[in-house]
Structure 1
Amino acid sequence: MRKATVVRSTGALKLLLCLALLAAAWSAPTLAAEGDWSQWRGPARDGYAPVAGNESLAAALHGPLPASLHQVWKIEVGLGQSAPILHQGKLYIHVRQGEEEVVLALDPETGDEIWRYAYPVAYVPVNHAWAWGPGPKSTLTAVGDTLYTFGVTERLHAIDAEQGDVLWDKSYDDIYAQPYPECGTSASPLVEGDLVIVPIGQTWPDPSIESLGEIVAYNRHTGEEVWRTEYLPPGYASPMAFTLDGVRQLVTSTQNHVVGIRISDGKTLWKKELRIFMEQNIPTPLLYEDNILIGGYHWGNALLDPEPTGGDGLWDVNSVWATKRHELYMDSPVLVGDHAYFRSHKRLGTLVCVDMRTGQQCWQGPPQVARYAAFVVVGGDRLLVLTDNGEIKVVAADPSEYQELASWDVADTPVFTHLTVAGSRMYVKDEAHLAVFEIAPDQVTDATAGPTGDAVADWTPTGEDEAAVLEVVNKVLDTQRDARTWEEVEEHLSYWSEDFSDYSGQTKADWVAMYRNIFNAAGVIGPPTGYDKQSMYLEGWVGDTAVVRGVFIDFRPRRQAIMEQFYTVRKYGDRWLVTGTDNKPIWERWGGQGDYKSTFFGEETEDQ
């Protein structure tokens, strides 16, 4: 048993109660005590806040809602999209600080550090993963007195939750040249009985690099391997455990399939091809009766019905329904009765309600609401929706109509983590901070602002500042331009027109003509020349933040897009922070050194 290098904070540590080990090999362990949020998407991995322990929050959401939330505390913890968990009196989070991944145990009342475990990680985002930073992306899983973490490079740890000592760990550098999928590992460990199960391997769009991988199960107490599946290169979804036709199965999306794996021995029972655009199989599978909801980017959604065929142990998979009317992307759905609620990638991000019996869309909310949204069901008929824009929306889980009951600002930087709910509190991890909120109408505290240092106070922009803003934005765009031909532009416009024609009532040809006119008017596109430009202009200032708007063509390999572009540029001392259309700071490679920096421009450029 190896000891970790652990730094513990001063002060008395609270003692945790240890759960007894379960004797039954395949029975599910008790993951959480009352009020805990012990893993990805909550105690059951389904986005539900249990009734027990969350009564006060449920009651508050059914009463008059305040204009803003009370911020209990906020601290800087580090980068990453791993969500915090609350387990047996401690708050845990997995982050990146500098060149290390760090597991932190915190006091949930104050945010004070209790212990930390850190280890070096050599990972640099590539291609379209630049925008999401260096991870980690998987959420911790806590069972009894043990934490299970899965780093961005598939480093699996079992850690003593009380002391921070490493019980065992696994890495796969000796098996795979690149031990992670293209955008880094994001699957959260699944604990089922005495097993902890993770997908491992490498995936890459370059055909010269072979995609490899399996799903592997370990004895969660000892780290001994129990079984390993056949060839199944990993996707990005977190695996789920479901009982289908009396058989306990792991269900997840791999690189190009959705699969059912018998948990007792790792045998693949069924496999359905799922070829998502750019192989972004991300959403967590949702169980409805004995059926599985799956979906993906530019693919749509489908409800699958896996069922055994007979005595040979193999299963068939049929579709109950399939549609392109709505589609999952990075988000995972929640189920309330016969209806699923989630963010559809249509209309540039809209919230929808879908009848799971038919696949029909009951309603859709306003367009362009969010690029990412995490749903939590509270009290049976209230949805807390945390968006990448740093908002928590309260939406009624009512299939008859879209009802947004409140919207609260909770972050100043993008949020691509899941919301954590425990007791009366909501825990939000933004780009680098962890904050805790509760509903307290008479005590409202504004969130602190600024990624590094303080914004310039009492500052009036000059003509030189305006020129500097446009220069900064164009410097970013210069790294992204790789235009090709008008025919390719037109083809791509037609594809995107399919996305919107359902809602606009216009035909593909109408949309192509409209976009052609817009871009020609902006001086952006116009065959035979001019298609490799963009038109950006300074719309105005809001305090110390410049708003830059225009049209941009992004034709890097595998990332073709034509879009309206929107930037905010904020001054910090003699530096500028550029934030893109999805409010995500853009990452840029500097000097061929392999180091990725945030887009601060000025006398110095700081690491993210």
Structure 2
Amino acid sequence: MKKGIKIITVTGLLIILPGLISAFGQDWPQWRGSDRDGKIVGFTAPATWPEELAQEWKINVGYGDATPALVKGKIYVFTRQDGNEVLQCLDASTGKVIWKDSYPANAVTGPAARHPGPRSSPTVINGKVIVLGATGIISCLNAESGKLLWRNNDYANMVPAYFTGMSPVVLGNTCFAHLGSAEKSAIIAFDMTSGKIVWKYEGDGPAYASPDIMTFDNVKVVVMQTDKSLLGLSANDGKVLWKIPTPTERRFYNSSSHLINGHKVFYTGQGSGSRAVNISKKGDDYTVGELWKNASYGTTYNTPVLKNGFLFGFSNLGYLYCLNASNGETAWADTTRHRDFGSIIDAGSVMLALSSTSNLVVFKPATDAFRQIALIKVAETPIYAHPVVSGNNIYIKDEESLILYTIE
């Protein structure tokens, strides 16, 4: 029997969350989606919201904050069960287990123990799946069969204060990850086929944000947030091409991933608002030029989304806000307080915002004022992972469960 989740507040239009695995949709193969930008295409907006979301299934998959990956009708979920870190490949329609891989991993301890499972999202690409555990063990498996291709534990149990949180990025046949602790760490390029180290850069300790790729002509640059700096490294050899100091204030830990738009980089999460810079290249030299700074609005544990020249995010105080990406001016800030842990998705005609309160906020991508469409309770326990959508299906990873809802 299907269970329902009541919609708390309903106004405006119904938005069906379509097709990541439909003929018109897209997969969600890695951190923040196909292009690591929090965007989904192919949404259709029905006339009205239903009163409930129908629960198709709910299964206990284990503890963890890692967002599942959805590729070709399979959903990959990475969690902790008992004393193991576990990667499961499930049928996205039924939730049935197709294959499962596990390995022993030390427990998360100290203040971070409130989040006992993995934080890093699986990356599924070229028939392989990469996972990075909370204690720094990185693995590569065959995405179809679950066969282990390689596993590296060189930096196992050497972790930052709140354990490993970054999600690796893949370019071609190379996987880039930042492993280790503040005392001993390395940004490493792994060969995806063999697991051999292509290059290694040793410097700052790891942060909790995730890397992305920037392109200058034919030069690929890995943009990596560390605990002290935002670095641009050559994807070929790990040479540092440019560096931006990102010192943190108060209880901030460089947990927000940066946004790349062409040669512009938007970054936040240091406790000092939001910034935008432009990276220029002349010959072999790179120059960083500051474009703007907004000292009033920035995030703590949320990465903003760029849409139509505006940035949408959860502020460090838990308020939804919108900034003009061209000059940094505040377009609007809502007065309803959520939490500073959260995710934003650009779903075309609407924005989807999910904080750790487990309330899904649906609002218009307006730039003159906050305009809410609906507020939906989607779980009874806190949520720290992105929702994943496919057709009229919504996948939610809460504290221990993976839930499939449909909008009918």
TM-score (norm. length: structure 1): 0.61
Q: Matched residues in 2 for 1:242 and 1:63: separation?
A: 40
Q: Which string of whole-angstrom CA distances, capped at 9 and with x for unpartnered residues, describes residues 577-607 of structure 1? A: xxxxxxxxxxxxxxxxxxxxxxxxxxxxxxx
1:354 equivalent to 2:360? Answer: no
Structure 2: runs of 5 or more not aligned: 1-21
Conserved 8 A contact 1:383-1:397: yes
Alpha-carbon RMSD: 1.8
The SS at the match of 2:47 is: coil
The SS at the match of 2:336 is: coil
Aligned twin of 2:40: 49
Aligned 1:548-587 pairs, distance under 5 A = none
How far is the alpha carbon of 1:67 from its aligned partner? 3.0
Matching residue within 206, 217, 242 for 2:189: 217
Conserved 8 A contact 2:108-2:117: no
Matching residue within 166, 175, 178 for 1:199: 178
Conserved 8 A contact 1:245-1:290: no
1:254 equivalent to 2:226? Answer: yes
1:101 equivalent to 2:74? Answer: no
Aligned twin of 2:26: 35
Q: Matched residues in 2 for 1:201 and 1:134: separation?
A: 18
How far is the alpha carbon of 1:386 from its aligned partner? 1.4
Aligned twin of 2:341: 372
Name the structure, 1 or 2, with higher relative contact order (CA <8 Å, separation 6+). Answer: 2
Q: Matched residues in 1 for 2:260 and 2:47: separation?
A: 31
How far is the alpha carbon of 1:35 from its aligned partner? 2.9
Q: Does the C-alpha gap of structure 1 residues 279 and 353 become closer, same or farther in structure 2, counting only changes over 3 Å?
A: closer
Conserved 8 A contact 1:67-1:406: no
Q: Matched residues in 2 for 1:350 and 1:245: separation?
A: 38
How far is the alpha carbon of 1:93 from its aligned partner? 0.2
The SS at the match of 2:376 is: strand
1:68 equivalent to 2:52? Answer: yes
Aligned 1:281-292 pairs, distance under 5 A = 281-292=254-265
How far is the alpha carbon of 1:279 from its aligned partner? 5.6
How far is the alpha carbon of 1:245 from its aligned partner? 6.1
Aligned 1:54-133 pairs, distance under 5 A = 58-60=43-45, 63-127=47-111, 129-131=112-114, 133=115
The SS at the match of 2:107 is: coil
Aligned twin of 1:476: none
Q: Matched residues in 2 for 1:389 and 1:373: separation?
A: 9
Q: Which string of whole-angstrom CA distances, capped at 9 and with x for unpartnered residues, describes residues 411-464 of structure 1? A: 000001111122221111010111011211xxxxxxxxxxxxxxxxxxxxxxxx
Conserved 8 A contact 1:215-1:232: no
1:243 equivalent to 2:215? Answer: yes
Q: Matched residues in 1 for 2:62 and 2:178: separation?
A: 25
The SS at the match of 2:44 is: helix
Q: Matched residues in 1 for 2:379 and 2:99: separation?
A: 26
Matching residue within 296, 312, 335 for 1:325: 296
How far is the alpha carbon of 1:402 from its aligned partner? 0.5
Aligned 1:153-552 pairs, distance under 5 A = 153-173=135-155, 178-203=157-182, 211-244=183-216, 247-277=219-249, 278=251, 280-308=253-281, 310-311=282-283, 313-345=284-316, 348-378=317-347, 380-440=348-408
Percent same amino acid at aligned positions? 30
Q: Matched residues in 2 for 1:84 and 1:422: separation?
A: 13
Q: Matched residues in 2 for 1:225 and 1:195: separation?
A: 9
Aligned twin of 1:444: none
Q: Does the C-alpha gap of structure 1 residues 82 and 407 become closer, same or farther in structure 2, counting only changes over 3 Å?
A: same
Conserved 8 A contact 1:106-1:113: yes
Conserved 8 A contact 2:315-2:340: no
Q: Matched residues in 2 for 1:396 and 1:72: separation?
A: 27
How far is the alpha carbon of 1:202 from its aligned partner? 0.5
How far is the alpha carbon of 1:218 from its aligned partner? 1.1
Q: Which string of whole-angstrom CA distances, capped at 9 and with x for unpartnered residues, describes residues 32-84 of structure 1? A: 99532111111111101133xxxxxx213x53122332222111111010111
Conserved 8 A contact 1:375-1:419: no
- Structure richer in strand, relative to its length: 2
Q: Matched residues in 1 for 2:309 and 2:143: separation?
A: 38
Q: Matched residues in 1 for 2:44 and 2:238: separation?
A: 43
Q: Matched residues in 2 for 1:230 and 1:185: separation?
A: 17
Q: Which structure has the greater CA radius of gyration? A: 1
Q: Does the C-alpha gap of structure 1 residues 337 and 289 become closer, same or farther in structure 2, counting only changes over 3 Å?
A: farther
How far is the alpha carbon of 1:301 from its aligned partner? 1.0
Conserved 8 A contact 2:352-2:360: yes
Q: Matched residues in 2 for 1:306 and 1:122: separation?
A: 41
Aligned twin of 1:150: 132
How far is the alpha carbon of 1:99 from its aligned partner? 1.0
Conserved 8 A contact 1:49-1:422: no
Structure 1: runs of 5 or more not aligned: 1-31, 52-57, 204-210, 441-608
- Structure richer in helix, relative to its length: 1
Q: Matched residues in 1 for 2:144 and 2:225: separation?
A: 33
Q: Matched residues in 2 for 1:325 and 1:192: separation?
A: 35
How far is the alpha carbon of 1:395 from its aligned partner? 1.0
Conserved 8 A contact 2:206-2:227: yes
Letter in 2 for 1:43: S
Q: Which string of whole-angstrom CA distances, capped at 9 and with x for unpartnered residues, describes residues 458-478 of structure 1? A: xxxxxxxxxxxxxxxxxxxxx
The SS at the match of 1:80 is: coil
How far is the alpha carbon of 1:244 from its aligned partner? 4.1
Q: Which string of whole-angstrom CA distances, capped at 9 and with x for unpartnered residues, describes residues 138-170 of structure 1? A: 000001321110001111111111221101111
The SS at the match of 2:266 is: strand
TM-score (norm. length: structure 2): 0.90
Conserved 8 A contact 2:252-2:300: no
